[in-house]
Chains A and B, each alone.
Chain A
Amino acid sequence: GDSVTQMEGPVTLSEEAFLTINCTYTATGYPSLFWYVQYPGEGLQLLLKATKADDKGSNKGFEATYRKETTSFHLEKGSVQVSDSAVYFCALTANAGGTSYGKLTFGQGTILTVHP
């Protein structure tokens, strides 16, 4: 079945540091890929997405590129801020039909803490 693997955390950085959170996936066909973020005390919200190979999703200074050859969707940000402290989830949905069509399969989540 489909699966998502994220780098183990937690990740602790100083403000303005470069961030990479690795994500690789296993899926049949051409899944859509997502990064969701959960800020402290808030619900899950979509950060960015990509729907086909070589697409780059971007939002709030974060970027991730859909790499089919390496089945990866690594999240990057050039200069993190304290306000980026949150839990980040990589996820996919299968684009083929089937009984679980549209469900999100999540990675285990990465806790990011940014210090001033």
Chain B
Amino acid sequence: GAGVSQSPSNKVTEKGKDVELRCDPISGHTALYWYRQSLGQGLEFLIYFQGNSAPDKSGLPSDRFSAERTGGSVSTLTIQRTQQEDSAVYLCASSPVLGGPGNEQFFGPGTRLTVL
């Protein structure tokens, strides 16, 4: 079946512009996660959703970052006034349920963001 999809696959933007990154999780998966992969910071957790709710936003790097999920499905990560340090690969993952021992997360291919 279809896996997690993300769009766009690549995004080049100018410093100060806003960007939106989209994630389509596997159908029926209630939990959705965003991570960021960068050379300096490795793989870091940003935010997760249980349904449409995001109980923990502490992983977001600054208030320029926001995310939403609608209909328990598609999620959008928005970065306002982008900075060069936002350049990274943004990964989305989904899982059937939130947490639980050994619960596997299924990752999308990522969006590579480059801020000039």
Q: Do A and B bind each other?
A: yes
With beta carbons under 8 angstroms apart, the residue of B35, B58, B99 that contacts A93 is B99
Q: Is B90 an interface residue (CB 8 A)?
A: no
Contact assessment for A89 and B56 in the assembled complex, using a CB-CB cutoff below 8 Å: no
For residue B58, which residues in chain A have a CB less than 8 angstroms away from its CB? 99-100
Residue-by-residue, is B76-106 near A (CB-CB < 8 Å gives 1, otherwise 0)? 0000000000000001010100111111110
A-B contact count (CB 8 A): 68
Q: How would you classify the secondary structure of chain A's contact residues: helix, strand, loop or mixed?
A: loop
- Give complex CA distance A50, B42 in Å: 23
- Give complex CA distance A35, B33 in Å: 18
- Give complex CA distance A34, B59 in Å: 21
Contact assessment for A93 and B103 in the assembled complex, using a CB-CB cutoff below 8 Å: yes
With beta carbons under 8 angstroms apart, the residue of B33, B103, B107 that contacts A45 is B107
* Distance between A28 CB and nearest chain B CB, rounded to angstroms: 15
- Give complex CA distance A51, B91 in Å: 24
Q: Is B55 an interface residue (CB 8 A)?
A: yes
Interface size on B, residues (CB 8 A): 28
Q: A102-B31, A103-B48, A105-B45 are in contact. Are A49 and B109 (CB under 8 A)?
A: no
Q: How would you classify the secondary structure of chain B's contact residues: helix, strand, loop or mixed?
A: loop
Residue-by-residue, is A33-51 near B (CB-CB < 8 Å gives 1, otherwise 0)? 0101000001111100111
Q: Is B25 an interface residue (CB 8 A)?
A: no
With beta carbons under 8 angstroms apart, the residue of B42, B91, B100 that contacts A44 is B91
- Give complex CA distance A69, B31 in Å: 32
Q: A52-B101, A89-B43 are in contact. Are A100 and B108 (CB under 8 A)?
A: no
Q: Is A13 an interface residue (CB 8 A)?
A: no
Contact assessment for B101 and A104 in the assembled complex, using a CB-CB cutoff below 8 Å: no
- Give complex CA distance A103, B54 in Å: 12
* Distance between A39 CB and nearest chain B CB, rounded to angstroms: 12
Task: With A102-B99, A106-B44, A109-B43 given, name 11 new contacts (CB 8 A).
Answer: A36-B107, A43-B4, A44-B107, A93-B103, A95-B100, A99-B56, A102-B48, A102-B98, A103-B56, A103-B59, A105-B45
Those 5 A-B pairs whose CB atoms lie nearest each other, nearest first: A102-B99, A106-B43, A99-B56, A51-B101, A44-B107
